[in-house]
Structure 1
């Protein structure tokens, strides 16, 4: 029962936020690389952190009812590959169990850039995270500014932005 209430609160908080325009599935599916990560608890996304996910592929399944996520996490310096599936809930919110319960929302999508907002509940605390991924290995200055704006809107300090691409030496 202790875990049900925080999960319900997470879902309601995410669902109550301003609902973005429907994300076009054609802009989601593809090969992606993690360019930037940011969190209000930087330990979660720091080098060796449990949520420093280095994305490789995202796929919309069944009209985006599910998101298939392929990514690496470096544990003790070793790249470990994960294939996880997030299930869509009400209001374009997805739930995935990975290093706790994660409520995930795609908050920005373009042909080259995708930003994912996550609220992670690890059993003790909620951590707010954004992951900026690209179809390539960098962001333009305009894309980086957009990423910073999205962090600011969610109360994540821009000084907590980590450059994921600089330390990503996991297999392509």
Structure 2
């Protein structure tokens, strides 16, 4: 007896019945308040962390540049991720916290829209980490960007999600 195969799109909202990529139609979904938070980390050596703390990097204030880059990235997510909807983002916050082994990056994005802002939060963290790396690469080429993940989201049909705790 042959096993019945599922359609390529089974469970994947961005695939049509033939398995082709498509943008999900959210036109009939009501706008709701939504929020998403993501985190990531850039591992740095103590010398570079000291220069960041003292404002002594050759390119300037690395944390300020990374923060602005992350905010800009959240706003431009639909230009970077092909099937993301342009959303009316109401707030983006980025916290860059120096720790003993690097800088923890946390982004929170808010909107009132028919779809969520998880990708915007993840993109904000990713680009902030890349900008931070760019700011310090002349001092430490072996810096590591690690562990970018969705921490939490709220709003929408699927309800709240939280992935805590996780080592940062």
What's the TM-score, normalizing by structure 2?
0.29
More strand per residue = 1
More helix per residue = 2
What's the TM-score, normalizing by structure 1?
0.29
